[in-house]
Structure 1
């Protein structure tokens, strides 16, 4: 199975057509939607299903200009690193001695190694957080999570915060590793995310099950 099999099937369903109609209507009304149309499915573009090793779930895209580009927690180069991603870097630096905190927030290198950076809602209206949370995207992304669980073995799922943790029921924990903590947001990072050791635990599991690990460094 490849992504296009899943996406093509879902695109035929009424709920998906409603999503596309909603977006077209908003754009026709002059609303600005993030990420840009060509970037909405970037998580699927950069991480092939065959190569998928890790799933990190976000909620909805960043809602300011020049930030969102279709990968959860990631921003385009040249943009300030958001606070949640700063805390992700902080956890990496504290737990993996060779990790060097980068000067950018673009996580494409992770995605290319098999880290699937999926927001559960794939679009947002400019400056309105969670504005598209009820338009149907979660029906799609719940299906994606379920298909990954069904069709893959030994994937590491990182569920940060209550929204992501609510997706645990979609994952077969008997054949995957599910890691849970609070969200890396400054509001909650000190209540469990910082010190969670997820990136170390992830690599230990991948080495044991697959014989290789993720290089979390982001050079360039």
Structure 2
């Protein structure tokens, strides 16, 4: 069951959500085309909540099973062809902080540097976006965001890209929220490019008395 993949601190904070997580787990495990791989579904919860000072919210995993790996917007290291949204994130990163911050495009290290890469829906079906929207993941991740903010005691920066992510804004009223359109090619030109989320985030962290994030990827 997915709850076995949670860090003990998350188990404590989400104890009232575990019955829902069990229901979701059963539904996901009955879908042979579910992605990411079962051992990666709860990957973002391997670290305790206090290890995170930044939250980046995605919608659901990449529909390509070779890309989906349990962290929003990230793909496995040495992926030869990057998804378009990730390409646009890296383009904005280079424009915001400088091209020297982008090398191989592997953003998984961000999760080890204080950034929670959370999808609102933690699973989908292979080659089908949004396939698991009705399983209750949004209710579960709503609770996750609420508990993360409580644990951070207001010292949290949330980067919300796109309408789905920005639905969480009311639950983040005690945090710094940086919002813009989604980095998808369908919306990036409507305000994602030029939004400078990385430098704005680091500025906000310093104002909160926290260390900046090393955004190199």
**Corresponding position of 1:120:** 120
Secondary structure of 1:150's aligned partner:
helix
**Corresponding position of 2:160:** 159
1:24 aligned onto 2:23: no
Deviation for aligned residue 1:120: 0.4
Deviation for aligned residue 1:7: 4.1
**Corresponding position of 2:86:** 85
**Corresponding position of 1:168:** 169
Task: After TM superposition, list the pairs within 5 Å mapping 1:86-101 onto structure 2.
Answer: 86-97=87-98, 99-101=100-102
Count residues with an aligned counterpart: 208
Deviation for aligned residue 1:21: 1.9
Aligned equivalents of 1:52, 1:100: Cα separation in 2: 21
Q: 1:103 to 1:135 in 2, by over 3 A?
A: same
1:56 aligned onto 2:56: yes
Displaced runs of 4+ in structure 1, greater than 4 A? none
Task: After TM superposition, list the pairs within 5 Å mapping 1:178-189 onto structure 2.
Answer: 178-189=177-188
**Corresponding position of 1:4:** 11
Q: 1:98 to 1:208 in 2, by over 3 A?
A: farther
Secondary structure of 2:159's aligned partner:
strand
Aligned equivalents of 1:44, 1:74: Cα separation in 2: 15
**Corresponding position of 1:141:** 141
Note if contact 1:154-1:176 (Cα within 8 Å) is conserved in structure 2.
yes
Q: 1:98 to 1:206 in 2, by over 3 A?
A: farther
Q: 1:7 to 1:36 in 2, by over 3 A?
A: farther
Aligned equivalents of 1:168, 1:24: Cα separation in 2: 31
Unpaired stretches in structure 1, ≥5 consecutive residues: none
**Corresponding position of 2:5:** none
Aligned equivalents of 1:67, 1:92: Cα separation in 2: 20
Note if contact 2:36-2:69 (Cα within 8 Å) is conserved in structure 1.
yes
Secondary structure of 2:214's aligned partner:
coil
TM-score by structure 1 length?
0.89
Q: CA RMSD in A?
A: 1.6
Secondary structure of 2:57's aligned partner:
strand
Note if contact 1:99-1:216 (Cα within 8 Å) is conserved in structure 2.
no
Unpaired stretches in structure 2, ≥5 consecutive residues: 1-7
Deviation for aligned residue 1:63: 1.4
Deviation for aligned residue 1:147: 0.9
Note if contact 1:92-1:99 (Cα within 8 Å) is conserved in structure 2.
no
Secondary structure of 1:2's aligned partner:
helix
Deviation for aligned residue 1:78: 2.6
**Corresponding position of 1:207:** 206
